[in-house]
Structure 1
C-alpha cells in the first residue's frame, strides 16, 4: 500500500516561497508532524539554514542548531520530526544519489523542483527495506 504525506495548502505555499527565495541555491528544512498507519500528517514545515556554502546549488547541510530547535519544538507540541524537505534547483523532484546515501529510514523526504519561474513540482519519498526510495503521494490536508 502506498504511503501518504498529508500537507496543508498553507504549508505548501510557504515551502514554495522559501524555495523561490533561495533559488538558485538549495533550500532545506524539517517537517514536524505525526506518523500514522498509512503515512505522515505534516503539521508544520520549518526552514533551516543550509550550511553547505561550497555546493549550495546542489547540496544542503541542515544547521544542527535548526535541527535541535525543531526537535525541541516537536517534543513541546507532542509530535515528532517526520522528515526533511529540500529543493532541487533546475532539476526534477526526484532523489539524487546523494539524497539516497544520506537518507534515514522512517522519514519522509519532500523534494521541490524549482526554477527561476518558481516551484514546478513537489514530490515525497520514503526509504523502503531495500534502501531504495518509494514515492509517497502528497494529499492536501483538511484545513482544520
Structure 2
C-alpha cells in the first residue's frame, strides 16, 4: 500500500509519536522511510540571522541530532534530509521530491498550544497526498 513514508521531526512530543508511527508503518508495509527536519530561520527574522552564523549552526546541530535519533531508532534504515526555510513548505517540497506515499507528522510543534499546529494544518490542507497526524 505504501512504498515510501516521510516523517517530519522537530523534537516535540507529538513528533516523537509520529516517528514511532512512521517506523511501524514502514516496517509493516516494507516501505522506504524518509525523515526530514527543517531549520526554521523565520522564527528569528532574516535580519537577526544575517550576521549570526552561530544561531543557524546551533539550529542545524539540533536538527541533525533529531535526524540521527530517527536513524538509530530505524537501525539505519532511513533516508534523512535537513532543510532550511518555512517548515510546511519544505516538508511539502521534500514529499514531492521523493514522491512520498504518506506523510506522518506531529499534530503540533514544540511551541504550539493549539490542538493542531500551524505547520500540520498547512500540510493537511495543501499537500496533495495522504497525511497522518499524531
Normalised to the residue count of structure 2, the TM-score between the two structures is 0.34
Name the structure where strand makes up a greater proportion of residues: 1
Q: Which has the higher contact order (CA 8 A, sep 6+)?
A: 2
Normalised to the residue count of structure 1, the TM-score between the two structures is 0.32
